[in-house]
Structure 1
Amino acid sequence: INFFQLLMKKKELIPLVLFMATAAGGASSFDVYSLQKSDVILDRKRNPEPWETMDPSVPSKLITINQEWKPIEELRKVRRATK
């Protein structure tokens, strides 16, 4: 009640409160959206190496210019040796 009484006394604060509430709502909704994307991995117990399940044909950046994916032979040898 005290906050609303302050807003009624000082009406010039109402646009500031509205802008701040809109910014906070937009930031929190973007956080929720980002956590639902497949690029963000929060569970490291079920998938300890998430980069192995990524599809190389799907860009994982906002802008991808001339992306070319080639398998690295040394990395394949290391994977075969560690499995």
Structure 2
Amino acid sequence: MIRTMIQHAQKHPGLIPQFFFLFVGMGGASLYLIRLARGPHVSWDRKNNPEPWNQLSPTYQYKLVAVNTDYKSLKKQGPDF
């Protein structure tokens, strides 16, 4: 695959920046996923710790989004007929 990319880049030099940014983006995404996988509450040991969420303290703040919507205060968006 890399050999064909080099051949294309030799024939069409305008593809070199595209290949560069492609590899930089793929590398950045890979490093980001590795960083996420090594988080403080990630457990890869399933035999000794099958339910790791039970070991969290009651005050641990989960990464959730809560949206409070009061349906009575919503305004009607359609016209009255």
Greater relative CO, 1 or 2 (CA 8 Å, sep 6+): 1
> What does 1:43-82 align with in structure 2 at a 5 Å threshold?
43-61=45-63
Paired amino acid for 1:51? W
Tell me by how many angstroms 1:25 deviates.
0.5
Partners of 1:2 and 1:48 lie apart in 2 by 45
1:6 and 2:14 matched: no
Match of 1:75 in 2: none
Partners of 2:28 and 2:44 lie apart in 1 by 22
Alpha carbon RMSD of aligned pairs, Å? 2.4
Tell me by how many angstroms 1:27 deviates.
1.1
Match of 1:81 in 2: none
CA separation of 1:64 and 1:38: change in aligned 2, threshold 3 A: farther
Which runs of 5 or more structure 2 residues have no equivalent in the other structure?
A: 68-81
Q: How many correspondences in the alignment?
A: 65
TM-score by length of structure 1 reads 0.61
Paired amino acid for 1:27? A
Partners of 1:15 and 1:39 lie apart in 2 by 39
Tell me by how many angstroms 1:46 deviates.
1.1
Name whichever structure is richer in helix by fraction: 1
Paired amino acid for 1:45? K
